[in-house]
Amino acid sequence: MSYTVNHWINGAPRVSNTGRSGNIFDPATGEKIGKVPYADKNEVNEAVIAASNAWPEWARTPPARRARVIFKFKELLESNINELAKLVTREHGKVLSDAVGSVTRGLEVVEFACGIPNLLKGEFTEEVGTGIDSFSTRQPLGVVAGITPFNFPAMVPMWMFPIAIGCGNTFILKPSEKDPSAANFVAELMKEAGCPDGVFNVIHGDKVAVDSLIQHPSIAAISFVGSTPIAQYIYTEGTAAGKRVQALGGAKNHAVIMPDADLEMVTDSLVGAAYGSAGERCMAVSVAVAVGDKVGDALIDSLKPKIQNIKVGPGTDPDSEMGPLITKEHLQKVHDYVDSGIDAGAKLVVDGRDLSLQGYENGYYFGPSLFDNVTTEMRIYKEEIFGPVLSVVRADDYETAVRMVNEHEFGNGTAIFTRDGDAAREFANNVNIGMVGVNVPIPVPVAYHSFGGWKRSMFGDHHMHGSEGVRFFTKLKTITSRWPTGIRSGIDLSFPMMS
């Protein structure tokens, strides 16, 4: 049955009248299952007006009262987690267990945002000068926006809006047009939780909607997750328009495997980190750096049978371990990358190109693939594939392995597998990457720490969620005060000193 996903503006569904829309497909079958409207500048402006009208009252609402709305939303989310996960699986394709896990990670940030009264506390110092006190507060920015990717249609928005709204801002979400239903479901839960109309809005669309958000003078900040070219575009254009921007981009995450590593743990970790969600994760491990040929040979021998045994199928099948890719176009793109690796001389150990599932011949399935003897000059090493492809690179020694990690243009996440505490500590301290795992393949920080990469994986000064998220969605105000005491010091034209 086909359906239409509408905008959500001022606490209610809003039917679009632009006449522009896109199709929603089920990646498991390739069938068209719905339509989503593409907003124009006027519809974006309508959402901004609703958010602007709601902001003064919401900003004046005591933080504890705002936190109660978020806490109620948390309870509703917990009660509806399976339903939300099914929406994610239907439109994205990832297996249901993975969808539930991603929603759970979003829920953790919601839990963190429930403590917003404590997180907004400022600092106070009395008697910075005679009879003078100084204190600071963190105040909301106003109307803020989030632009989120297709691979985590529930989790990534929840990394943004609970903190933004808890801080006293109003929020406009522009989710991916490929899997938009999760955003509307979340909006309905926020409404049920008591979120005032206009505080949380959802606009669907393409580049027209994105550019309208960037250019709108009433939007104070934009948070983005997606590819590096778009992240750089949004950061450049957004900051030029006077907005605060955090824009998280692409990745090419390396895992360094030392000779003393527990090989069984390594291969189990790599299979999960490389092929979970069909590799459509910015924190997926797509490069395994084996230190020494002996390690490389053993790694390939251990990985190959485990990869070949991964069960690929529709996300709704409880036996499936890996689902389809998001679109037919992306399926072809991953296919082209594998072809380019072969042409460049890499050894394709496991080939997933010709996977076909009975009854799902039109689905966007690509089998897990494994390359050996990849070099740093190859496209499959340099570029983010965003698919179920793992490349094994061989390094003569630890120093060469670290140099590979540090010289890559992306700096999102990395990991080292070793039993040597000295090597692990040296790696963690000196590698030029934003998030580091030690015997942990996907080092996504927990909600009360902050998420973000370095180099061309991140544009902006504040990382996402945790204390950095609170800083991004607020501005610091420092107040210095003195009350009349009858003491007069006279006129002084020199620079004020607290003496």
- Residue-wise pLDDT for 59-94, tens only, equals 999 999 999 999 999 999 999 999 999 999 999 999
Tokens of 184: 């509307």
Structural domain count of the chain: 2
Where are any strands of DSSP class E within 99-218?
A: 124-129, 132-140, 143-147, 170-174, 200-202
Q: Residue 388's domain is classified under what CATH number?
A: 3.40.309.10
Q: Model's pTM, two decimal places?
A: 0.95
Tokens of 408: 């890559």
Q: Is residue 497 part of a domain?
A: no
Considering the domain architecture, whether residues 221 and 284 belong to the same structural domain is answered as no
Tokens of 289: 């750096």
Residue 209 has pLDDT above 60, yes or no: yes
The owner of tokens 């005060």 is 481
Residue 326 has pLDDT above 80, yes or no: yes
Considering the domain architecture, whether residues 33 and 180 belong to the same structural domain is answered as yes
Considering the domain architecture, whether residues 257 and 237 belong to the same structural domain is answered as no
1-5, 28-32, 232-236, 400-404 — which is least confidently predicted? 1-5
Considering the domain architecture, whether residues 314 and 335 belong to the same structural domain is answered as yes
* Mean pLDDT across 350-358: 93
- Helices (runs of H) and strands (runs of E) counted in the chain: 16, 23
State the pLDDT at residue 485: 74
Residue 277 has pLDDT above 60, yes or no: yes
Q: Is residue 332 part of a domain?
A: yes
Considering the domain architecture, whether residues 305 and 410 belong to the same structural domain is answered as yes
Considering the domain architecture, whether residues 467 and 407 belong to the same structural domain is answered as no
Residue 488 has pLDDT above 70, yes or no: no
Tokens of 329: 């176009």
* Mean pLDDT across 223-252: 97
Residue 397 has pLDDT above 70, yes or no: yes
Q: Is residue 86 part of a domain?
A: yes
Residue 486 has pLDDT above 70, yes or no: no
Q: Residue 185's domain is classified under what CATH number?
A: 3.40.605.10
Residue 202 has pLDDT above 70, yes or no: yes
282 is catalytic: yes
Identify whether the C-beta of residue 8 lies closer than 8 Å to the C-beta of residue 175.
Answer: no
Q: Is residue 496 part of a domain?
A: no
Domain that holds residue 114: 3-249+457-479
State the pLDDT at residue 492: 72
Q: Is residue 371 part of a domain?
A: yes
State the pLDDT at residue 484: 81
Tokens of 104: 């759970």
Report helix angle 41-60 to 207-215, nearest 10: 50
Q: Which of 311, 451, 294, 302 is nearest to 390 (CA)?
A: 302
Identify whether the C-beta of residue 73 lies closer than 8 Å to the C-beta of residue 162.
Answer: yes
Of the residues 114, 167, 195, 282, only one is catalytic, namely 282
Q: Is residue 491 part of a domain?
A: no
State the pLDDT at residue 19: 94
Considering the domain architecture, whether residues 463 and 422 belong to the same structural domain is answered as no
Considering the domain architecture, whether residues 363 and 219 belong to the same structural domain is answered as no
State the pLDDT at residue 435: 95
Considering the domain architecture, whether residues 53 and 120 belong to the same structural domain is answered as yes
- Residue-wise pLDDT for 141-187, tens only, equals 999 999 999 999 999 999 999 999 999 999 999 999 999 999 999 99
State the pLDDT at residue 267: 97
Residue 447 has pLDDT above 60, yes or no: yes
Average pLDDT, the chain: 96
pLDDT band of 489, cuts 50, 70, 90: low
Considering the domain architecture, whether residues 470 and 400 belong to the same structural domain is answered as no
Residue 352 has pLDDT above 90, yes or no: yes
- Residue-wise pLDDT for 306-323, tens only, equals 999 999 999 999 999 999
Task: Please name every residue paired with 482 in a beta bridge, in sequence order, or none if there are none.
Answer: 132
Residue 451: alpha-carbon gap to chain centroid? 8
pLDDT band of 498, cuts 50, 70, 90: low
Considering the domain architecture, whether residues 263 and 208 belong to the same structural domain is answered as no
Cα-based distances in Å from 457 to 8, 112, 249, 282, 462: 31, 25, 4, 9, 13
Considering the domain architecture, whether residues 89 and 181 belong to the same structural domain is answered as yes
Q: Is residue 269 part of a domain?
A: yes
* Mean pLDDT across 281-302: 97
State the pLDDT at residue 499: 57
* Mean pLDDT across 256-284: 96
State the pLDDT at residue 78: 98
State the pLDDT at residue 119: 95
Largest CA distance in the chain: 90
Q: Is residue 240 part of a domain?
A: yes
139-148, 300-309, 352-361 — which is least confidently predicted? 352-361
